[in-house]
Structure 1
């Protein structure tokens, strides 16, 4: 009797397992909320290309750390064509990419005019274009970056504050390449703002081409020419470390102030603010820009607008850091951005 009962139970179980095996899917499908499946599919087989001034900068490394993280997560391909400081090499890279037809080309403009025709050509070829941090007069599908005129305004205000009553008021400006978008707009912001501060006088302005060695040489000469100089304005921390070295070598750290600007890299930004090498620092946050760039790519790959028809911009917020306000979280490293922090 017991054996017969076990046989009947076993037979029923076998039937049930067979039925369940036929009904249950091989693998469960995730529910669709109306967008998630389209969102995931939007990135399949897509290609995004980046043409930087150079991948040797903390800025470009930070941006691409975030974009590569998204590419790995979402499944699109990222390709980088490093111009390595050469406008001609950059133009050649963009031309080649237009023929290859990636879905998006991201361009960091070294010059206000050099890539204008190529940007238009890329959009005419059906490619969406993002201009990154350094914008030409022509609009593309997106711009992500700093408000460089606003940066110039903030650096000038900080220099005027530091070189106010009780000082000579003499300020020197060290520029980058004169045709670079951040330089042209930044210098305009500095000059327009200093008009409102009659106690501050711009006694020298020279171009160091984003080069720390050139900035060091120029700053050393200016310090010798103006014994009572109160301060320097520099337009990029990578270059401005050369100015800081010249001030240190002159022994006039208490007299000469340095207002710098940059993307907020820990070693170049916060470390120099904490040490007092930078008296004030206008941060144009690369970490924020990297996240916004990654999001802009996502939006363009999903919506695929007709190139050039719906341009938009995200200008990242400036933040002023001083030795009194800088905090452990004020700056970033590339490794942190890679981890999404």
Structure 2
């Protein structure tokens, strides 16, 4: 008997039998996924819809949610805390109400009671970008203390040992968590460099015109400043304009933070308006957000019973660090490219 041919034939029969069994079975995953997610509702309430962060989150969420058969909607408080609270109230009381509520909180406390009420009605609550004094089902965003440390290190490096060692801050406000924690991180680093001093620290209230005005005054009163840390790229355009008008672009380093959008961050790094940007990696945050939404809707876990923190991996980018994929483009994203 030719044993080699016998074993080859036996192996062939076994493979055919296995293939027939595999083709007869179905992967249970897609059906379970569809059953848990189809028809679910997700709502986004940012601080406003008219800026790149909100537009980016909305575009990424809409693509995913509608892709798995859900419904996505937004509300635009347009920077009004009262309008934001009303929007959240309306969503909680809606029939049907959202299954997941994504909120960009303006401060630590304003929405806390409302968001707790949302969880009580069976709505998962995700805080994006800004922490709050509320145990959300998930927080996704920056460790703002760590981000402030990265900004301060970039400013110290840009100034150099032979500089005036005078640093100015353009803060956001005194109630927003991102501003408060960012400041704390900056001061932790500067404590390691006792020769460096913060000589001015006005608030911009997240407004580019205000940032421009306070920076103009800052430079008039402190003409030897070597670096300014602005707490958000949305108002850093005003700070950059004041530096340029004073004839000091390239002489005063401007460090800020942003979501990594092309025109808001990479283009300004390339032009020299910004010296360094600590990006909050919006596209990665959005991926984390979508993954958590899909998990929570399948978990069977009741809203308000646990809290997850997912922090963005961040770095300070300079002009030399820019690559084709460093930034995302809000117009291309909205166009579906």
* Counterpart contact for 1:135–1:143, Cα < 8 Å: yes
Give the Cα separation in 2 of the matches to 1:304 and 1:193. Answer: 43
Would you say 1:38 and 2:67 are equivalent positions? Answer: no
How many equivalent residue pairs? 313
Question: After superposition, where does 1:306-325 map in structure 2 within 5 Å?
Answer: 306-325=302-321
Would you say 1:330 and 2:326 are equivalent positions? Answer: yes
Aligned mate of 1:71, from 48, 65, 68:
65
Question: After superposition, where does 1:136-285 map in structure 2 within 5 Å?
Answer: 136-285=132-281
Residue in 2 that maps onto 1:16: none
* Counterpart contact for 1:164–1:200, Cα < 8 Å: no
Give the Cα separation in 2 of the matches to 1:200 and 1:274. Answer: 27
Deviation at 1:41?
1.8
Deviation at 1:335?
4.3
Residue in 1 that maps onto 2:47: 53
Name the CA shift for 1:108/1:188 in 2 (closer, same or farther; >3 Å): same
Residue in 2 that maps onto 1:96: 90
Aligned mate of 1:62, from 49, 56, 65:
56
* Counterpart contact for 1:163–1:200, Cα < 8 Å: no
* Counterpart contact for 1:61–1:334, Cα < 8 Å: yes
Structure 2 unaligned spans of 5+? 1-22
Name the CA shift for 1:200/1:280 in 2 (closer, same or farther; >3 Å): same
Name the CA shift for 1:150/1:119 in 2 (closer, same or farther; >3 Å): same
Name the CA shift for 1:31/1:337 in 2 (closer, same or farther; >3 Å): farther
Deviation at 1:66?
0.8
Give the Cα separation in 2 of the matches to 1:303 and 1:32. Answer: 22
Give the Cα separation in 2 of the matches to 1:31 and 1:286. Answer: 40
* Counterpart contact for 1:124–1:307, Cα < 8 Å: yes
Residue in 1 that maps onto 2:78: 84
* Counterpart contact for 2:150–2:315, Cα < 8 Å: no
Name the CA shift for 1:250/1:336 in 2 (closer, same or farther; >3 Å): same
Give the Cα separation in 2 of the matches to 1:68 and 1:325. Answer: 31
Task: Describe the SS at the equivalent of 1:67.
Answer: helix
Residue in 2 that maps onto 1:19: none
Give the Cα separation in 1 of the matches to 2:223 and 2:138. Answer: 46
* Counterpart contact for 1:287–1:337, Cα < 8 Å: no
Deviation at 1:121?
1.1
* Counterpart contact for 1:69–1:338, Cα < 8 Å: no
Residue in 1 that maps onto 2:20: none
**TM-score (ref. length: structure 1):** 0.88
Give the Cα separation in 1 of the matches to 2:40 and 2:57. Answer: 19
Give the Cα separation in 1 of the matches to 2:255 and 2:25. Answer: 54
Task: Describe the SS at the equivalent of 1:139.
Answer: coil
